[in-house]
Amino acid sequence: MALLITHKCINCDMCEPECPNQAISMGNDIYEIDSDRCTECVGHYDKPTCQSVCPIDNTIIINPQHTETNEQLWDKFVVLHHTL
């Protein structure tokens, strides 16, 4: 599952530099997460760092439009980072 930044985002700039996949960027009004690059930090950390550093509760949530298994997230990590 990729993550999604909701309208609660206050553009604090905490999440973007924490993303190891460079999946977070500034959108028109708030930060956005590229679901093609988001692995929920699988392959890097035990839990998504963007959620950990976000100062507003429940601002970064699971994106219901992009559900993926842990295996799919791992496969995406491997493709993004060319790791075997």
pTM recorded for the entire structure: 0.90
How many C-beta neighbours within 10 Å does residue 30 have?
A: 14
Q: Rounded to an integer, what distance in angstroms lies between the CA atom of residue 36 and that of residue 33?
A: 9
pLDDT in tens, the chain (84 residues): 799 999 999 999 999 999 999 999 999 999 999 999 999 999 999 999 999 999 999 999 999 998 999 999 999 999 999 865
pLDDT score of 71 = 95
pLDDT score of 84 = 55
φ/ψ (deg, to 5) at 3 = -100, 165
Handedness of CA 73, 77, 79, 83 (dihedral sign): negative
